[in-house]
Structure 1
Amino acid sequence: MMKWQEYQEAVAVLYEQADGFGNVKRNVMVPDKITGQPRQIDVLIEIEAKGHSLKLLVDAKFHADPIDVKQIESVLALADAVGANKAIIVAANGWTEPAEKKADHTGCDLRLLSLEEAIDILIPDKWEMCPSCLHDCIVLDDDGALITADGLLFWWLAGQCRECKYAFAWCQECGIYTDIPFGDSATCTCGHLWENKSDGVNLTLAEERMDGEPNPGEQE
């Protein structure tokens, strides 16, 4: 599954991408205004407006269920403890109706950022929801490039589901997405062999299979 730290990072990137939205700080420690003890903040946004300094506290909620009133109150208490002017909660799976009423009444902003959107922020256009277990996304973070026998550059993307090891491979040459169960193999339109093993997706080019020898031009 996507880790909560990764979701928190995606929330930070989301606000960093908002042009002119102030100074965005990730995972910072801010002293409690009463006790002086450090308090962890997922994202802190500092805005200078007309001579005034405003602090916005953003809290990432990577929960399997919609957040409830208690979680709204917890974030509001944290915002008050560190002297933030406003609290914003970004949730992966929404919120309950009572939580929304509480947030509206207290001026706390709620924003939905799904798992799919979070992964797309971190690794744009390089993920697919796993069709096997439906519990995690397959991130195409295994890539490579080599010079083929005819002198052309060939590159690919591949990745495994962290939950069930189901794999995708994307062949740049023929443009085909190939899905491969763990321990299995598949051949794309080009004739290249893709194998889903414990160490990831292994590629054997069509000409290598014919020659029976590795391509000496292979590069990492």
Structure 2
Amino acid sequence: MNWQEYQEAVAVLYEQADGFGNVLRNVMIPDKVTGHARQIDVLIELEAKGHSIKLVVDAKFHSEPIDVREVESVLALADAVGASKAVIVAANGWTSPAEIKASHAGCDLRILSLEEALDLIVPDKWEMCPCCQRDCIVLDQDGALITEDGLLFWWLAGQCRACMYSFAWCQECGSYLEIPRGQTEECTCRHLWENSQDGMNLTLREERDDLPTEGNEAE
């Protein structure tokens, strides 16, 4: 997951909250002093008793807990665009001084972990990369076809963007394969899976010329 995807997940989080006002993604608002455009990850507009209330939500996709400087930066941004409140959503929490600063300023802090964020934008289709632990493997490669015996064959696969490690999930036999870059693996039903530069390549057992033909297999 990259920071843009994390920002998207934060927006989805608030969009799913029923009756939580108008949620806008990645908007530009003029600075109330300079007039220059300021980028807002998520802007929530609420109407309460004839008053318009703006909430600035800032997504922090950092590998470490955010510190006081990050809180101060978001507070300054909220003030610059005339927001009533600031909210920080962080992937890996915050330091104790940052929490004290946020509490004093009325800034809400919320944790949205990598796993939770992925579930919001690609539910049930991700795995943390077991090889590098630096990124996730999103199972975004899939396919479905009717085999020669009339059965539906469906598969899922994905590749880590950090180290190119791959997963493949064969729905026919239930095999779950972990394949290093440049290597191939055979699932139980003898389909061949290759982790290439361009992603996962699949060769069905019926298409392989390295297998004995039916009737000629060794007994």
Same fold (TM over 0.5): yes
The equivalent of 2:140 in structure 1 is 141
The alignment status of 1:157 with 2:156, answered yes or no, reads yes
Tell me how far apart the structure 1 counterparts of residues 105 and 34 of structure 2 sit (CA, whole Å): 24
The equivalent of 1:190 in structure 2 is 189
Q: Secondary structure at the match of 2:208?
A: helix
The equivalent of 2:69 in structure 1 is 70
Q: Tell me which stretches of 4 or more aligned residues in structure 1 moved more than 3 Å.
A: none
Write out per-residue CA displacement over residues 108-136 of structure 1, whole angstroms, 9 at most, x where no aligned residue.
Answer: 00011112221221111111111111111
Percent pairwise identity: 77
Write out per-residue CA displacement over residues 156-205 of structure 1, whole angstroms, 9 at most, x where no aligned residue.
Answer: 11011111111100111122211111111111122211111111111111
Tell me how far apart the structure 2 counterparts of residues 11 and 146 of structure 1 sit (CA, whole Å): 35
Tell me how far apart the structure 2 counterparts of residues 159 and 92 of structure 1 sit (CA, whole Å): 23
The aligned amino acid for 1:168 is F
The equivalent of 2:170 in structure 1 is 171
Tell me how far apart the structure 2 counterparts of residues 164 and 14 of structure 1 sit (CA, whole Å): 29
The aligned amino acid for 1:65 is E
The equivalent of 1:37 in structure 2 is 36
The alignment status of 1:21 with 2:20, answered yes or no, reads yes
Tell me how far apart the structure 2 counterparts of residues 196 and 71 of structure 1 sit (CA, whole Å): 40
The equivalent of 2:110 in structure 1 is 111
Higher mean C-alpha deviation, range 102-111 or range 172-181: 172-181
Q: Secondary structure at the match of 2:12?
A: helix
The alignment's C-alpha RMSD in Å is 1.5
Tell me how far apart the structure 1 counterparts of residues 72 and 134 of structure 2 sit (CA, whole Å): 30
The aligned amino acid for 1:140 is L
Tell me how far apart the structure 1 counterparts of residues 33 and 198 of structure 2 sit (CA, whole Å): 51
Tell me how far apart the structure 2 counterparts of residues 102 and 123 of structure 1 sit (CA, whole Å): 34
Tell me how far apart the structure 2 counterparts of residues 22 and 91 of structure 1 sit (CA, whole Å): 22
Tell me how far apart the structure 2 counterparts of residues 206 and 17 of structure 1 sit (CA, whole Å): 44
**CA shift for structure 1 position 51:** 1.9
The equivalent of 1:90 in structure 2 is 89
Segments of structure 1 that go 5 or more residues without pairing to the other structure are 213-220
**CA shift for structure 1 position 138:** 0.8
**CA shift for structure 1 position 207:** 2.2
Q: Secondary structure at the match of 2:99?
A: helix
Report which structure shows greater RCO (CA 8 Å, sep ≥6): 1
Tell me how far apart the structure 1 counterparts of residues 56 and 174 of structure 2 sit (CA, whole Å): 43
**CA shift for structure 1 position 9:** 1.0
